A and B are shown apart, each in its own frame.
Chain A
Amino acid sequence: MLLAFDTATHAVTVALHSGTAAGDVVAEHTVVDALRHGELLAPGIQHVLAAAGISPRDLTRIAVGVGPGPFTGLRVGIVTARTMAAVLDIPVDGVCTLDILAAAVTDQPGGFRVATDARRKEVYWAAYDGRGRRVSPPAVDRPEAAAYDGPVAGRGPQLYPAAFPAAIDPDNPSAAALARAVAHRTVELLPPVPLYLRRPDAATPGQRKQVL
């Protein structure tokens, strides 16, 4: 059984897949709550395991979104995937979160882009061809710099309609799409390492001390 999840956007999305190309998603659980990845992921995993009536020991593989995305949520997914894989002694693969969104885009023969919220008035984005293959490396830019008149998936068009006037579905990644893409080998597999794209911000508020 393949367990898939992504926590690199506003969505905390978890899915369980039979794990083979012939099989399909057997349970799915998604909550959109930008600030509670740490609270929602473990119960979400527990939920899909219970829905499918299996125990963690029945898992054979894990797939996790590796961003780019807001760091705090992103790390929740990656540390969870790495730790579960270590405990259960099973392989873990990473998938670019923009690719997970792209995997659920349909009927865009002329190609499209994915743009997500990078906060600080910037977007994470990448370009895809008509077959859904990524043709540019994931990047972080101001929306004006990444502006595109063609179809754009992700939350970018909702946040910056002037830069991305042609919104298409989906706006958030789905773990079901991630699981299918991994099971069907239609997506690039990466190590489970975060795509931060930004250096740590050491100058600003930083230096915050512990509360007590």
Chain B
Amino acid sequence: MNDVPLVLGIETSCDETGVGLVRGHDLLADAIASSVDEHARFGGVVPEVASRAHLEAMVPTIERSCREAGVTLSDVDAIAVTSGPGLAGALLVGVAAAKALALSLSIPLYGVNHLSAHVAVDQLEHGALPEPCVALLVSGGHSSLLLVEDVTVGVEPLGATVDDAAGEAFDKVARLLGLPFPGGPHIDRVAREGAVTIDFPRGLTGGRDLERHRFDFSFSGLKTAVARWVEARERAGEPVPVADVAASFQEAVCDVLTRKAIDACVRSGADHLVIGGGVAANSRIRTLAEERAAQHGIVVRVPRPGLCTDNGAMVAALGAEVVRRGRPPSALDIPADSSMPITTVVA
């Protein structure tokens, strides 16, 4: 027996079926099944396709995580599951599986917030989370700036995107440039061969916009500007410098994200910035955030790419922290809450 509880975490809020096993800050297993290939031809996640894939992947992924960790389900002390926010039908598969586990094993269930889990996962990589800290979460589904006073109780939203998520902008621009879905990794790769030669707009960064939306983001104008620029080139019969467009677009996104994140740290007096979500795997955002943070004595913490994208380990990591801090478990009748507010960490 071990004094530190073993927590199994389940994530099904979008297109990844993730099951992780965590003991304290130790990651024992992180099993993932993705339906991303099935969505690629639609250029985005199709909810019913994702839900069907979660159902098929659920039990095999649970079993794989146990094999990876060298444990059996009877060793598990608590179950954590993303109960929101996310796609309703997708969440429901994970929540139902989590309840079945908790019920069959007679152990507590914790329905937790997906965004808090993106923050808590950093503990697996860099140890105890410095609180308060500012978290920048950027992916195809979310673009948020959060002030984290206590990752297990309440997280204060500072700002969020007013239109597209950052990852969505990457996907749309990638499609425009003829790069595959999901766009993030492809833009990052192509941009390395190009230079920042085009000055694309930075949304909500000046004048009244900045006053009213100091910590909010907008990527829809940027996406349109890139489309116009590319179309103008094509109409003129000139070749599109794909690498330069990718580099310039990526620079515009990363500039705004890191500028506002550092501003949020300075304003709230937080000396740590945690970056999570799929876009955190982008090489430019990491470099730029570190450069700018250093000027203000702020430390940037970014988990490795595999932990930034949606996974079960992040849910288990948050579950482990929630258990460690003695928060009360969830009831067996909790709903899958597609619009779960960030201020609720445990349902």
Contacts and interface: CB of A to CB of B under 8 A. Distances in A.
Contact of A87 (B48, B101, B115, B333): B101
Interface string A75-94: 11011111110111000000
A211 interface: yes
B173 to A, nearest CB: 16
10 contacts: A38-B96, A79-B55, A81-B100, A86-B63, A200-B48, A201-B48, A206-B42, A210-B13, A210-B87, A210-B142
A200 B333 contact: no
A71 B104 contact: no
Interface stretch (B267-275, B284-292, B334-342): B334-342
B89 A72 contact: yes
B92 A211 contact: no
Size bin of chain B's contact surface: 35 or more
Contacts of B92: 38, 72, 75-76
Interface of B: 13-14, 42, 44-49, 51-52, 54-55, 58-59, 62-63, 73, 85-89, 92-93, 95-97, 99-106, 115, 140-142, 144, 160, 165, 168, 332-336, 338-339, 342
A211 B338 contact: yes
A42 B96 contact: yes
Given A72-B92, A86-B62, A80 B49 contact: no
Given A38-B92, A40-B333, A206-B42, A212 B144 contact: yes
B86 A46 contact: no
Nearest to A72: B89
B333 A206 contact: no
B89 A71 contact: yes
Nearest to B339: A211
A209 B47 contact: no
Nearest to B338: A211
A88 B105 CA distance: 8
A95 B155 CA distance: 45
Nearest to A88: B104
A55, A71, A87: residue with the most chain B Cβ atoms closer than 10 Å = A87
Contacts of B73: 86-87
Interface residues of A, number: 37
A39 B51 contact: no
Contacts of A41: 96, 99
A150 interface: no
Contacts of A55: 106
Contacts of B336: 38
Interface string A177-212: 000000000000000001010001110001111111
Contacts of B100: 42, 79-81, 83-84, 87
Contact of A71 (B45, B48, B141, B333): B48
Given A81-B100, A202-B48, A202-B49, 7 more contacts: A38-B335, A42-B332, A56-B104, A75-B89, A196-B52, A212-B85, A212-B141
Interface string A9-42: 0000000000000000000000000001011111
A130 interface: no
A42 B330 CA distance: 13
A45 B342 CA distance: 31
B332 A200 contact: no
Contacts of A84: 100, 103-104
A56 B104 CA distance: 5
Contact of A82 (B47, B59, B103, B332): B59
Q: Which secondary structure dominates where chain A touches chain B? A: helix
B243 to A, nearest CB: 28
Contacts of B59: 79, 82-83, 86
A76, A78, A79, A200: residue with the most chain B Cβ atoms closer than 10 Å = A79
A161 interface: no
A45 B103 contact: yes
A43 interface: yes
Contacts of B160: 212
A82 B58 contact: yes
A140 to B, nearest CB: 15
Given A39-B335, A42-B99, A202-B46, A72 B51 contact: yes
Contacts of B142: 210, 212
Contact of B55 (A40, A78, A201, A202): A78
A180 to B, nearest CB: 24
A68 B174 CA distance: 39
Given A80-B100, A86-B59, A206-B42, A39 B333 contact: yes
A82 B106 CA distance: 17
B46 A200 contact: yes
B63, B99, B106: residue with the most chain A Cβ atoms closer than 10 Å = B99
3 tightest A-B contacts by CB?
A: A210-B141, A83-B100, A200-B48
Contacts of B58: 79, 82-83
Contact of B96 (A36, A43, A80, A207): A80
Given A40-B333, A212-B144, A202 B104 contact: no
Contacts of A43: 332-333
Given A39-B333, A206-B46, A83 B62 contact: yes
Contacts of B339: 211
